[in-house]
């Protein structure tokens, strides 16, 4: 059960096979069931997670820390780059090498693309990428898949519309890699300036995925089984005026949802700014806060898998 993950780094959405995905989903399901039954775990007794976050985070850091504590482990953390030696000019490699001596697993978020891989090169414990700039966010993608499977029942044969900043959004960059493992039909909806990078789209097509690119939200929303909304990534814009032009490009509200399928599932990695109106929260398919909770189960699964500790429960 633990074979593919034990001691491994989690860096990129393209590193998973369908079988790997099945292992994560299965373990997450076991932990979800356990927690809902009031079960407590001590699988990680004596183990330490270090969270190194050099960019803002609420959900990713706290759900990883919650997951480790729920497994009976401990947590040490650098909650801001400004409080660690990175502020003194220390390299990612030296930081990772150092933290490996204090912890059994590292979860890292950093503004630079490739930073998690750089940390993994010197770390002597598993490194989990919690977002490397506009690059990848594989653990979010795993919890997104877990959520879709729970909310829709399957990923095969469904139509998923990804909306928003597909150029800079690391969650969607990782998610499409996992979607390529299924027979999903993808609709990529963005302003022309924020399209998914061409090399990613080409890679998906090569893998046989049906991909359609458009800027027409109304049409995509009417066709979709799942609508995955993302925030325009303000922090990735070098020119604030460009952001101002694009912010508010798309807003999901009840009026738009009148055009959608009745059982549409709406997801968002969060935080939202203005792209989903608060009135939508009452829609039965508005699953974004359920999605957030699923992050704890999936991250419990990942921590247990990379440290080889699922054997006792699965």
To the query of whether residue 231 is one of the catalytic residues in this protein, the response is no
Helix and strand element counts for the chain (H, E):
11, 9
- Choose, from 51, 60, 95, 230, the residue flagged as catalytic: 60
Which tokens sit at 262? 């009745």
Least distance to ligand NCD, CB of residue 171, Å: 5
Residue 75: closest CA among 39, 44, 30: 44
By beta-carbon proximity to ligand NCD, the closer residue of 126 and 269 is 269
Give every CB contact of residue 122 below 8 A, 6+ residues apart in sequence: 93, 94, 96, 97, 100
By beta-carbon proximity to ligand NCD, the closer residue of 201 and 270 is 270
- Choose, from 70, 109, 150, 167, the residue flagged as catalytic: 109
* Interacting residues toward ligand NCD by CB under 6 A: 59-60, 131, 137, 140, 170-171, 230-231, 269-271
Tell me the C-alpha to C-alpha distance, in Å, between residue 72 and each of 53, 64, 105, 180. 22, 13, 14, 35
To the query of whether residue 70 is one of the catalytic residues in this protein, the response is no
- Choose, from 12, 110, 137, 309, the residue flagged as catalytic: 137
By beta-carbon proximity to ligand NCD, the closer residue of 16 and 288 is 288
- Choose, from 36, 88, 206, 262, the residue flagged as catalytic: 88
To the query of whether residue 88 is one of the catalytic residues in this protein, the response is yes
Least distance to ligand NCD, CB of residue 308, Å: 26
- Choose, from 8, 47, 59, 247, the residue flagged as catalytic: 59
Least distance to ligand NCD, CB of residue 53, Å: 10
Dump strand ranges (E) for the chain.
Answer: 48-53, 74-78, 105-110, 127-132, 159-163, 185-189, 210-214, 226-229, 265-267
The CA-based dihedral angle spanning residues 235, 237, 241, 245, taken in that order and rounded to the nearest 10 degrees = -90
By beta-carbon proximity to ligand NCD, the closer residue of 43 and 298 is 298
Tell me the C-alpha to C-alpha distance, in Å, between residue 219 and each of 43, 125, 185, 290. 48, 47, 15, 26
By beta-carbon proximity to ligand NCD, the closer residue of 30 and 298 is 298
Dump strand ranges (E) for 98-196.
Answer: 105-110, 127-132, 159-163, 185-189
Which tokens sit at 173? 């960059």
Least distance to ligand NCD, CB of residue 244, Å: 18
Least distance to ligand NCD, CB of residue 291, Å: 9
Question: Which residues have a catalytic role annotated?
Answer: 59-60, 88, 109, 137
């Amino acid at each position: 059960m633990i074979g593919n993950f034990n001691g491994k780094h989690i860096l990129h959405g393209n590193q998973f096979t369908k079988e790997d995905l099945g292992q994560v989903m299965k373990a997450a399901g076991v932990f979800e069931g356990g927690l809902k039954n009031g079960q407590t775990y001590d699988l990680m007794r004596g183990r330490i997670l270090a969270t190194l976050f050099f960019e803002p985070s609420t959900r990713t850091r706290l759900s990883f820390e919650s997951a480790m504590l729920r497994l009976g482990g401990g947590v040490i953390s650098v909650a801001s780059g400004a409080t660690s030696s990175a502020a003194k000019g220390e390299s990612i490699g030296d930081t990772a090498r150092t933290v490996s001596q204090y912890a059994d697993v590292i979860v890292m978020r950093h503004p630079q693309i490739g930073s998690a891989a750089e940390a993994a090169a010197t770390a002597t414990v598993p490194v989990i990428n919690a977002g490397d700039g506009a690059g990848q966010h594989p653990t979010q993608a795993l919890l997104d898949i877990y959520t879709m499977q729970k909310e829709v029942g399957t990923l095969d044969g469904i139509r998923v519309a990804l909306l928003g900043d597909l150029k800079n959004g690391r969650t969607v960059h990782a998610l499409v890699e996992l979607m390529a493992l299924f027979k999903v039909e993808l609709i990529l909806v963005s302003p022309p300036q924020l399209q998914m990078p061409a090399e990613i789209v080409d890679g998906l097509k090569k893998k046989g995925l049906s991909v359609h690119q458009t800027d027409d939200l109304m049409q995509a929303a009417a066709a979709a089984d799942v609508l995955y909304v993302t925030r325009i990534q303000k922090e990735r814009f070098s020119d604030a005026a460009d952001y101002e032009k694009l912010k508010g490009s798309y807003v999901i509200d009840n009026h738009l949802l009148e055009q959608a399928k009745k059982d549409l599932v709406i997801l968002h990695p969060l935080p939202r700014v203005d792209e989903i109106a608060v009135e939508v929260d009452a829609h039965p398919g508005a699953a974004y806060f359920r999605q957030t909770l699923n992050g704890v189960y999936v991250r419990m699964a990942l921590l247990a898998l990379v440290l080889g500790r699922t054997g006792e429960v699965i």
